[in-house]
Amino acid sequence: MFTGHALHSFRKQLLGWFSQFKRDLPWRLDKDPYRIWISEIMLQQTRVVAAIPFYERFLTHFPGVATLATAPEQEVLRLWSGLGYYSRARNLQKAARQIVAQHQGVFPNRHEQVLALPGIGPYTAAAILSIAHGQTYAVLDGNVARVISRLGAISGNLRTNQRWQQLQQLADNLLDPRAPGDWNQAMMELGATVCTPRSPQCLLCPVNKSCEARKLGLVRSIPEKRNKRATLGITLAALVLVDKKGTTLLLAPPISPSRSKMHSQIAPLLSRLWHFPTIEVSQDAVKEAKAYLEANLLHGTKIRETLVPLKRVRHSVTHHDITLLPFRLELAALPNIPHSKKFPLTDLSSVPISNLTRKVARSAQG
């Protein structure tokens, strides 16, 4: 893309801009690979502003690999609660345990060892190794790919294997070997704050003179829009059972669909965390929820109390659009059900729950 003087001046402009305008972010305070790793995993599907309080709380509870490796999984999930994509938290802990078992608790600094950790792919490995250890691995994710494709006016689908490899090669060539960590962060920062997907601020862009898409008037059409995966609609009913003291009942994360009597399609929608008893419904939600309640939670006892419909909850998880119909049922005493626990409805902070469950709890409190 650029060589010789053009490459030199491109690097100088971008690094100069980054050193002047980079955001103050908590994971930029030092070069500890553990802290960088946690931030990179959190930022995979979460915006910077939303991630910061979670990051600080997580680091307070798990300041290093050893504390993360030895913590109960439920505690790790609880502190991840609200960030979504919980496989990230589960993989973090698996990786921490692997680091303790194979690397004496010290985050490895060899590329192949980092890539062998659960949840770490080429992007995350490159980010950690370049920022923490100054190793010359260039990051490539959707943000950086967008920037490079615009700089080089590369049209077409960026996500084909061949095109992605081409972009990786370009990223490798652009990387400034004298400051790989800053370079990678500068490319990410440019993509996140200036060369954004919908409204790139080309006038303010530090490298606008080097940008082919801008010269050719192609900024709006590059990169090519991705075909969105069709979303599936699903309707669920959740039962919020409440006793006189305001205590409610949550079911444990489903280990197997058979144990929870939960349709296997539903478990991932609840992030495999603690949840209100929930089923998929089709025709008559009240009737179906009542039948489920009597058969599975009340051991066949018929109820006379009314299921009170609460405000419906809309939620999206990956390619599912969920409509959830919560029902509140006041009972003199909550039933004893295996794999369940009782909590105050107004405070579920001691247990890992998904955003969907949090919305249901809010709806049940009126």
Other CB atoms within 10 Å distance of the CB of residue 210:
19
73-80 helix and 48-61 helix, angle to the nearest 10 degrees = 150
Closest distance to ligand SF4 from the beta carbon of 68 (Å): 37
Of 35, 214, 275, 359, the residue at the interface with ligand SF4 (CB under 6 A) is 214
Give CA–CA dist 311/309, Å, rounded.
Answer: 7
Give CA–CA dist 306/332, Å, rounded.
Answer: 13
Closest distance to ligand SF4 from the beta carbon of 118 (Å): 34
* Six-digit token string for 135: 């190793």
Give CA–CA dist 164/289, Å, rounded.
Answer: 48
Considering only the stretches 18-26, 163-171, 210-218, 267-275, report the one whose residues sit in contact with ligand SF4 under the rule CB under 6 A: 210-218
**170 is an interface residue for ligand SF4 by CB under 6 A:** no
Closest distance to ligand SF4 from the beta carbon of 151 (Å): 5
Binding track, positions 16-55, relative to ligand SF4; x by CB under 6 A: ----------------------------------------
Closer of 223 and 253 to ligand SF4 (Cβ): 223
**328 is an interface residue for ligand SF4 by CB under 6 A:** no
**219 is an interface residue for ligand SF4 by CB under 6 A:** yes
Considering only the stretches 76-84, 136-144, 147-155, 296-304, report the one whose residues sit in contact with ligand SF4 under the rule CB under 6 A: 147-155
DSSP output for 183-245? HHHHHHHHHHHTS-SS---GGG-TTGGG-HHHHHT-TTT-SPPPPPPPPEEEEEEEEEEE-TT
Q: How many residues does the chain have?
A: 366
Positive or negative, the CA dihedral 86, 89, 93, 99 is positive
* Six-digit token string for 309: 């419909």
Give CA–CA dist 329/325, Å, rounded.
Answer: 13
**192 is an interface residue for ligand SF4 by CB under 6 A:** no
**174 is an interface residue for ligand SF4 by CB under 6 A:** no
Of 200, 253, 326, 352, the residue at the interface with ligand SF4 (CB under 6 A) is 200
Of 150, 272, 328, 359, the residue at the interface with ligand SF4 (CB under 6 A) is 150
Give CA–CA dist 319/245, Å, rounded.
Answer: 38
Closest distance to ligand SF4 from the beta carbon of 174 (Å): 12
Q: Which amino acid is at 70?
A: T
**359 is an interface residue for ligand SF4 by CB under 6 A:** no
Instruction: Report, as residue numbers or ranges, the catalytic residues.
Output: 40
* Six-digit token string for 9: 């001046």
Give CA–CA dist 356/267, Å, rounded.
Answer: 12
**11 is an interface residue for ligand SF4 by CB under 6 A:** no
Closest distance to ligand SF4 from the beta carbon of 131 (Å): 22
**154 is an interface residue for ligand SF4 by CB under 6 A:** no
Say how many residues touch ligand SF4, by CB under 6 A: 14
Of 207, 238, 249, 356, the residue at the interface with ligand SF4 (CB under 6 A) is 207
Site residues for ligand SF4 per CB under 6 A: 147, 150-151, 194-195, 200, 202, 205, 207-208, 211, 213-214, 219
